[in-house]
Structure 1
Amino acid sequence: MEVVCLQEEAFYALFDKVIEYVDAKRLDMPDKWIDGEEAKRILRIKSASTLQKLRDEGKIRFTQPQKKIVLYDRDSIDEFLEKNAHETF
């Protein structure tokens, strides 16, 4: 086992670089749970009632952490779109 010694200043500079790297990677990853507006944008629909119909029919997953907050599972929306995609001839 090797032990690496760093001066305090170098340690904190390295630490800051690691934090920047992790934050940049996290920003690249889309959120798993999205709001209704984002879900409608991805599905390319304008109607909240159409979004609710998809939810009520169990075609897309959702969670309701509070009474007036409904979040949609981005992965289930992607799966729904793939399932309904038609292959070209």
Structure 2
Amino acid sequence: MQVVCLQEEAFYALFDKVLEHIEGKVKDKPAKWIDGEEAMSIVKIKSTTTLQKLRDEGKIRFSQPQKKIILYDRDSINEYIENYARETF
């Protein structure tokens, strides 16, 4: 086993670089659960009624952690769009 000794300044500089790297990875990955506005933006609809219809018909997954908060699964929305994709000739 090896022991590495660092000066305090070097340790904190290294620590900051590690944090920057991790934050960069987290920012690149989109959130799994999104709000209704972002869901409507992805599906390119303007009506909350249409979004509710998709939810009620089970075409997209959602979660309702509180009475007035509804979150949508980004992956299920992308899958819904892929289901209607047409292949080229």
| TM bracket (short chain) | over 0.9
TM-score, normalised relative to structure 1? 0.96
Deviation beyond 3 Å, 4+ runs, structure 1: none
Q: CA deviation at 1:3?
A: 2.0
Matches within 5 A, 1:1-89: 1-89=1-89
Look up the equivalent residue of 2:34 and give its one-letter code. Answer: I
Kindly tell me the number of residue pairs found equivalent between the two proteins.
89
Distance in 2, matches of 1:5 and 1:77, equals 50
Q: Secondary structure at the match of 2:86?
A: coil
Q: CA deviation at 1:28?
A: 0.8
RMSD: 0.7
Could you tell me which runs of 5 or more consecutive residues in structure 2 were left unpaired when the two chains were aligned: none
TM-score, normalised relative to structure 2? 0.96
Look up the equivalent residue of 2:32 and give its one-letter code. Answer: K
Percent identity over paired residues? 73
Distance in 2, matches of 1:57 and 1:51, equals 10
Could you tell me which runs of 5 or more consecutive residues in structure 1 were left unpaired when the two chains were aligned: none
Distance in 2, matches of 1:47 and 1:37, equals 10
